Amino acid sequence: MPSNLSAAQSNNRREALVALRDTLASLLDTTESQVHAQLSAQYRGTLAEIAEIDAASGEKPKGGVDELKSKRDARSGGRAKAHASGNA
């Protein structure tokens, strides 16, 4: 994970927002409850900005299952393998 400074210096807005998102998430886990409302608001705003960038670029955020499927498809050359259960 890049630091906030290196992400900001990259001139890549999405990369900077992702670094900020990660920092805010970490702070939410470790700070006193007095500042949770402020951090939560900033965190939600950051997530919304990342989603806007992804939507504008046509990218769909990948979850863990999607990433695993992508890796499996890449290894198999994109061929879906049939499972014994019949679920693909």
Tell me, yes or no, whether 8 lies in a domain: yes
pLDDT tens figures, 74-85: 777 655 555 555
Helix-strand-coil split of the chain, %, nearest 5: 70, 0, 30
Of 57, 62, 88, 43, which Cα lies nearest the Cα of 35?
Answer: 43
pLDDT digits (tens, 9 = 90+) for 37-86: 999 999 999 999 999 999 998 866 556 566 667 667 777 765 555 555 55
* Domain assignment present for 88: no
The total domain count for the chain is 1
Q: Which domain holds residue 10?
A: 4-75
d(CA 1, CA 22): 8
**What is d(CA 80, CA 13) in angstroms, rounded to the nearest whole number?**
35
Q: How far apart are CA 75 and CA 88, in angstroms?
A: 16
Is residue 18 a part of any domain in this protein? yes
Prediction pTM value: 0.62
* Domain annotation covers residue 80: no
